[in-house]
């Protein structure tokens, strides 16, 4: 493959992706495949940060079903992301990578407390950095956390690895006429209320001019293909 087109990236992976077909918990065979792809990125000299969602354990207000107050539900989601970071980091280390977990809230023994300087230093030391606990504040999604961390560490791009292979005009699972976009602007995503990221995350990416590449994680090697400049999925930019 050709050399990477980005030097530093932030990969956002949904918690559900870590569960695979099981829907909950972990599919370690699949996680190992993702880790192998990430190792290829670091071998190419790319600095990698990762934000993982918590949906394989807890989906905030949705799972709270009216019984758990929003702030508590969101904090439970933060803890779910911390569990995912620990599991992901261990599989990364077993595959030969050096991984560091940084958390947005203090959880002794789980990870070090996040600071921008610490994150950048770890990236420059060629460690894969896993950002846990979202932004550390309720009412903000892990999508927003991913864009925030990308902006703070000066990432060249956000790789949004999803269960769908790009951005569509409608949900292709229910609308056969849905059209896939090769590229689309932040403004168009917001105006059409497209389900790429939540509006806060999209606006933050737009304000900081960080391109977002949306692609399917079903083939983990897609991460490497995106880095090589192959046109996969949908690019969201100005």
Stated pTM of the model = 0.94
Nearest to 156 by CA among 24, 4, 15: 4
The whole-number average pLDDT for the span 66-87 is 94
**107-143 pLDDT tens trace:** 999 999 999 999 999 999 999 999 999 999 999 999 9
Q: Which pLDDT value is given to residue 1?
A: 54
Q: Which pLDDT value is given to residue 64?
A: 77
**13-34 pLDDT tens trace:** 999 889 988 889 999 999 999 9
Give CA–CA dist 157/212, Å, rounded. 6
**91-108 pLDDT tens trace:** 999 999 999 999 999 999
DSSP string, 106-162: --TTT-EEP-HHHHHHHHHTTPEEEEESTTSSTT--HHHHHHHHHHHHT-SEEEEEE
């Amino acid at each position: 493959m050709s050399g990477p087109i980005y030097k530093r990236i932030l990969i956002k992976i949904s918690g559900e992706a870590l569960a695979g077909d099981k829907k909950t918990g972990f599919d370690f065979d699949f996680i190992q495949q993702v880790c192998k792809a990430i190792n290829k990125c670091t071998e190419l000299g790319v600095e990698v940060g990762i934000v993982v969602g918590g949906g394989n354990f807890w989906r905030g207000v949705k799972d709270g079903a009216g019984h758990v107050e929003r702030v508590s539900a969101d904090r439970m989601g933060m803890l779910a992301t911390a569990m995912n970071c620990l599991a992901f980091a261990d599989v990364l280390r077993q595959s030969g990578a050096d991984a560091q977990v940084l958390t947005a809230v203090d959880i002794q023994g789980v990870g070090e407390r996040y600071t921008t300087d610490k994150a950048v230093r770890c990236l420059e030391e060629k460690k894969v950095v896993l950002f846990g606990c979202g932004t550390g504040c309720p009412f903000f999604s892990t999508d927003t956390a991913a864009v925030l961390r990308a902006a703070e560490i000066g990432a060249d791009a956000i790789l949004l690895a999803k269960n769908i292979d790009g951005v569509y005009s409608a949900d292709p699972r229910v609308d056969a006429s849905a059209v896939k976009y090769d590229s689309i602007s932040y403004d168009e995503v917001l105006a059409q209320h497209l389900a790429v990221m939540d509006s806060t995350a999209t606006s933050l990416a737009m304000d900081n001019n960080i391109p977002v590449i949306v692609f399917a994680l079903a083939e983990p090697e897609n991460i490497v293909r995106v880095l090589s400049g192959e046109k996969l999925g949908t690019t969201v930019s100005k």
